[in-house]
């Protein structure tokens, strides 16, 4: 453990943030937290991009919970720590334990663990008669096959601890179950693989949404926004578009609000920002998972652009025991488009055809950002073999409603040119 560089003066309040994450999706989050409270970053290393947003760093391996607890305890003896926060799901339970140990605001570690372990989530939802997907945990390949037989094809296989659609696969036969099981058990994303086995669940057709909510205290749950998510082609479930519309009719759908509230209470969540994912089926909304962290893929940014409500600031306020501002100041829409490679191979070209689209040269106000997440020379895998690590680019647009955002997402997508060498002598391009 290394004492924080540039430490804040003793007595000055600081917020401990566990893990920085990747710049493309997380800098805006860290920046907004730092705008509310001085931040000390806790982690094994501090990326250069994060330093301008920090007053100090606490260098310790986040995979070693005991070492982190010791380091934070030592630090807290000489500093005024007012809260512990993380926006990275794999550190959520650790953050909850630290907050509890120091008498700081937060959820119980048990509630966070119930969200992290998707098998436990499903059991608790079932116990409280909250509609979800019928599912079984499988620790062996044959168990997965047997569970699929009980449910009936098609089924979905996903790791027990990875959020959203990451590494999830549809399977329509025993052979596909075996292949998907092997892929899921081989998946390890940082600390997201601590729960053994996989989840075998019924396939639910219907649109995917997430509910962005704020829990101010036990039973006090405020729904802030609904995010509509579009998925790429099956058997993978890669998320390719998220859109938040402040006037979405789903905000007035009682069944969605009821499912969110009941799920939050069933899992024991009593404080913080919640990201609850659902499938809208013919029989009503089904809760797929609930996370006690801010939504990924820049969803908090979309919420702020569409409604004016700063969920990052809300999370930081609640973690430090202060009242958040939940007052909307806008009534528009915002969306993010995510580009996956069209072929597997080595990236040879990444360009924007701005000569044919003059608006791109000046970046219209509605194009909030365009970010390449791959570089020339990088190896990528195309769907269905791809993962979030294979994403090539993303862009965020704003508009008066979902339809306008869709138009602007497509307008931007039409300017993107990628070329990928699939063999040493051939390449494919897409625009």
What domains does the chain contain, in order, with CATH numbers? 13-104 (3.40.50.20), 134-202 (3.30.1490.20), 205-331 (3.30.470.20), 333-431 (3.30.470.20)
Q: Among 2-11, 159-168, 308-317, whose mean pLDDT is lowest? A: 2-11
What pLDDT is stored for residue 51 in this prediction? 97
pLDDT in tens, 92-132: 999 999 999 999 999 999 999 999 999 999 999 999 999 99
Task: With 0.75 as the threshold, say if the pTM is over it.
Answer: yes
Q: Among 131-145, 331-345, 410-424, whose mean pLDDT is lowest? A: 410-424
What pLDDT is stored for residue 386 in this prediction? 87
Q: Indicate if the pLDDT at residue 424 is higher than 70.
A: no
* Exposure of 387 in the CB half-sphere (CA atoms within 13 A): 14
What pLDDT is stored for residue 353 in this prediction? 81
* Exposure of 212 in the CB half-sphere (CA atoms within 13 A): 31
Q: Omega into 235 within 30° of 0, i.e. cis? A: yes
CB–CB of 423/414 below 8 Å?
no
Ranges of beta strands (E only) in 134-282 are 135-138, 155-159, 169-171, 198-202, 208-217, 220-231, 239-245, 272-281
Per-residue pLDDT, averaged over 325-333, amounts to 97
What pLDDT is stored for residue 354 in this prediction? 60
Q: Omega into 288 within 30° of 0, i.e. cis? A: no
Q: Quick one: pLDDT band at residue 2, thresholds 50, 70, 90?
A: very low
Query: Nearest-CA neighbor of 1 among 49, 62, 80, 92?
Result: 62
What pLDDT is stored for residue 16 in this prediction? 99
Give the rounded percent of residues in the chain with a pLDDT score beyond 90.
81
What pLDDT is stored for residue 69 in this prediction? 98
């Amino acid at each position: 453990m290394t004492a924080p560089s540039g430490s804040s003066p003793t007595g000055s309040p600081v917020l401990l943030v566990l893990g920085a994450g990747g710049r493309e999706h997380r800098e805006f989050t860290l920046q907004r937290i730092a705008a509310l409270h001085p931040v000390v970053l806790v982690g094994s290393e501090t990326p250069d991009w994060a330093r301008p947003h920090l007053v100090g760093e606490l260098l310790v391996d986040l995979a070693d919970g005991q070492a982190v607890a010791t380091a934070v305890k030592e630090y807290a003896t000489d500093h005024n720590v007012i809260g512990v926060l993380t926006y990275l799901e794999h550190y959520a339970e650790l953050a909850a334990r630290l907050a509890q140990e120091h008498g700081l605001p937060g959820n119980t570690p048990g509630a966070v663990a119930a969200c992290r372990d998707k098998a436990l989530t499903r059991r608790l939802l079932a116990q409280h008669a909250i509609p979800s997907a019928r599912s079984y945990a499988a620790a062996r390949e044959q168990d997965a096959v047997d569970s699929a037989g009980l449910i009936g094809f098609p089924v979905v296989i996903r790791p027990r601890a990875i959020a959203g659609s990451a590494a999830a696969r549809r399977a329509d036969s025993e052979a596909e179950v075996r292949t998907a099981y092997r892929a899921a058990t081989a998946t390890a994303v940082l600390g997201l693989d601590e729960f053994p086995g996989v989840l075998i669940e019924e396939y639910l057709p219907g649109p995917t949404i997430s509910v962005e909510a704020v829990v101010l205290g036990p039973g006090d749950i405020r729904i802030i926004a609904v995010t509509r998510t579009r998925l790429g082609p099956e058997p993978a479930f890669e998320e390719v578009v998220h859109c938040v519309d402040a006037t979405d009719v789903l905000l007035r759908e009682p069944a969605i609000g009821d499912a969110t509230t009941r799920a939050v209470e069933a899992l024991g969540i009593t404080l913080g920002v919640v990201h609850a994912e659902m499938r809208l089926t013919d029989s009503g909304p089904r809760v797929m998972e609930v996370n006690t962290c801010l939504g990924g893929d820049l969803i908090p940014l979309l919420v702020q652009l569409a409604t004016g409500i700063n969920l990052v600031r809300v999370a930081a306020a609640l973690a430090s025991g202060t009242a958040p501002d939940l007052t909307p100041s806008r009534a528009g829409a915002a969306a993010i488009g995510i580009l996956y490679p069209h072929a597997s191979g080595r990236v040879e070209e990444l360009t924007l055809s701005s000569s044919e689209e003059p608006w791109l040269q000046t970046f219209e106000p509605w194009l909030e950002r365009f970010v390449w997440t791959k570089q020339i020379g990088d190896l990528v895998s195309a769907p269905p073999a791809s993962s979030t690590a294979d994403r090539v680019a993303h862009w965020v647009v704003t508009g008066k409603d979902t339809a306008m955002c869709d138009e602007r997402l497509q307008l931007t997508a039409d300017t993107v040119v990628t070329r990928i060498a699939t063999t040493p002598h051939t390449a494919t391009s897409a625009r």
